[in-house]
Each structure stands twice: as structure tokens, then as C-alpha cells.
């Protein structure tokens, strides 16, 4: 659907949904939830996916879900807009890469640049934002690299492995976005992808 350098963004279909329960019980879920360690049954995951599908159907969930697929076809995880407020032209980003083997190879950044372009160029959003936690250094580094601004720090917002951590809010205005091509150039991603 949208072709990146290392990954493509595709509909979040069966390939991905089939992995949901595995991912929900994996380390990825700890990072995605700000420190929760859930132990989830297949039936619970099924029920959650069912509720999600219904919310999308009824229009209560205005989000847009993409699957991140490696060039060899492996489903890697989720990338999308989890909360879209069209009247404020504001969308929240969310991402989860299920398999830790793909956490630092530039796959997430590649997918992120695609979805940013999508939100600005196709959905005409005014601003994108996201939240993460103060212990998620990988995401913090990624956001700064891509050009997001740290806008707010919610003190001791979340509990992870017995410690309170801050919640972080990042924002990117459309006027600050140079476009995906320019960003790829600036970060030298093409060379990395080919190398």
C-alpha cells in the first residue's frame, strides 16, 4: 500500500491479527503499554480484536491501522493513527513492533516516516502527537531524530517494574515537516537500507 525502504505499510489483515496474541504477551507489549506486563489468553485477545473491529465499524474508533511488513513478507507489527480528531485536525500515533529482532534496524523509523506523510498528505492533519514513557530511550531518540518536539512531561505517570516513570508527550506540526523524501535524505536512510 505504501512502500518504504525496508518495510511496506499494508492493511492490518489476517497475517497481523494472527500474531496479536503472541505480541500481546511479549516484551513489545511492556514497552507499548508504559510498563504493563499482561498475561493474556487467546480468548481475551480475540475479544479485544472483536471490540476493536466493532468500534471501527460504528465509527467510534476513527483510527487508521497499518501493518508493518518487511520486504520479505514478514509481518513485523502495527503502525497507525490511534486517535484521530478530525475537527482539530489532530492525530495520535501509535506503533508496536512485535519481534525484538527488528527493534533497532531502522524498520520502525521507516514505517513512521510513511505514516507521517500519510497523515499530512492524505488526511490533511494539522498536527501529530504521541506519548511514550521516560524510560523508553529508543523511542525518545527516534522522535528527536524524526523532528518531533518534546512538549510535556507528566511526572511519575506510569509504573514499570516497580518504579514510577514520567510520561512524555511529543508533537510535530505540519509546518515543521519537510516531507518524507527530505527526511530520508537528511537521515541518510537510503544508504543504510542499501548497506
Partner 1 sequence: MTVLHGLLVDLVPSTAEFGEKMYQFWNNESRMWATMGDYGPISRAQIERIREERAQAVERGYTGVHFMMRARDGQIIGNIGLNWVDYYNRVAYLGSWIGEPDYWSGGHGTDALLLLVEYGLSWLDLRRLALSTMGPNVRAQRNVEKVGFRLEARERQATLVNGAWVDALTYGMLREEWRGRDVLVEELDLRARAEQRYGTGDE
Partner 2 sequence: MIEGKLVDLVPFEDDFATYFEQWMNEESWFRARVWERREPHPEDAVKKFIEKMEKNEHGALIGFQTKDGDPIGGVIWDHEWTRVRKVDAILFVGDMRYEGTDEALDGLLMLLRYVFETRGVHRVDAAALAFDEVRIEFYHRAGFSHEGTLRQHVRWDGDYVDLELFGLLEDEWPGYEQITAQLDLQPSGIEPKPKPEKKDEKKNGSGQQPG
User: Which stretches of the chain bind partner 2, using CB under 8 A?
Assistant: 34, 36, 85, 87-90, 126-127, 129, 149-159, 169, 171, 173
**Which of partner 2, partner 1, none does residue 94 bind to, with CB < 5 to 8 Å depending on kind?**
none
Supply 157's cell numbers.
505517570
Residues 87-106 interacting with partner 1 (rule: CB under 8 A): 87, 89
Q: Is 124 in the site for partner 1 (CB under 8 A)?
A: yes
> In the bound complex, what is the minimum distance in angstroms from residue 94's beta carbon to partner 1?
19
In 10 A of CB 107, how many CB atoms?
23
Nearer to partner 1, 91 or 143 (CB): 91
Among 75, 98, 76, 94, which Cα is nearest to 26's? 98
Supply 163's cell numbers.
518504579
**Which of partner 1, partner 2, none does residue 123 bind to, with CB < 5 to 8 Å depending on kind?**
partner 1
Residues 53-92 interacting with partner 1 (rule: CB under 8 A): 58-60, 86-87, 89
Supply 34's cell numbers.
508504559
Strands (E) in 71-175, as ranges, are 75-85, 90-97, 127-133, 149-160, 163-173
**Which of partner 1, partner 2, none does residue 101 bind to, with CB < 5 to 8 Å depending on kind?**
none
Among 107, 103, 120, which Cα is nearest to 9's? 107
> In the bound complex, what is the minimum distance in angstroms from residue 149's beta carbon to partner 2?
7
> In the bound complex, what is the minimum distance in angstroms from residue 183's beta carbon to partner 1?
23
Distance CA 34, CA 179 (A): 29
SS3 12: coil
> In the bound complex, what is the minimum distance in angstroms from residue 58's beta carbon to partner 2?
15
Amino acid at each position: 500500500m505504501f512502500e518504504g525502504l525496508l518495510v511496506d505499510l499494508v492493511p492490518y489483515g489476517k497475517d497481523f491479527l494472527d500474531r496479536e496474541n503472541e505480541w500481546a504477551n511479549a516484551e513489545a507489549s511492556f514497552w507499548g503499554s508504559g510498563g504493563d506486563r499482561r498475561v493474556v489468553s487467546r480468548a481475551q485477545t480475540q475479544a479485544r480484536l472483536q471490540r476493536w473491529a466493532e468500534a471501527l465499524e460504528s465509527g467510534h474508533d476513527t483510527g487508521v491501522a497499518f501493518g508493518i511488513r518487511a520486504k520479505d513478507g514478514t509481518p513485523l507489527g502495527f503502525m497507525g493513527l490511534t486517535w484521530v480528531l478530525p475537527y482539530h485536525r489532530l492525530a495520535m500515533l501509535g506503533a508496536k513492533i512485535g519481534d525484538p529482532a527488528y527493534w533497532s534496524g531502522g524498520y520502525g523509523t521507516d514505517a513512521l516516516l510513511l505514516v507521517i506523510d500519510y497523515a499530512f498528505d492524505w488526511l490533511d492533519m494539522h498536527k501529530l502527537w504521541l506519548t511514550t514513557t521516560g524510560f523508553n530511550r529508543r523511542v525518545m531518540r527516534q522522535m528527536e531524530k524524526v523532528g518531533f518536539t518534546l512538549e510535556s512531561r507528566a511526572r511519575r505517570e506510569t509504573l514499570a517494574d516497580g518504579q514510577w516513570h514520567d510520561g512524555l508527550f511529543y508533537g510535530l506540526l505540519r509546518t515543521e515537516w519537510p516531507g518524507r523524501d527530505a527526511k530520508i535524505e537528511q537521515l541518510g536512510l537510503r544508504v543504510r537500507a542499501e548497506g
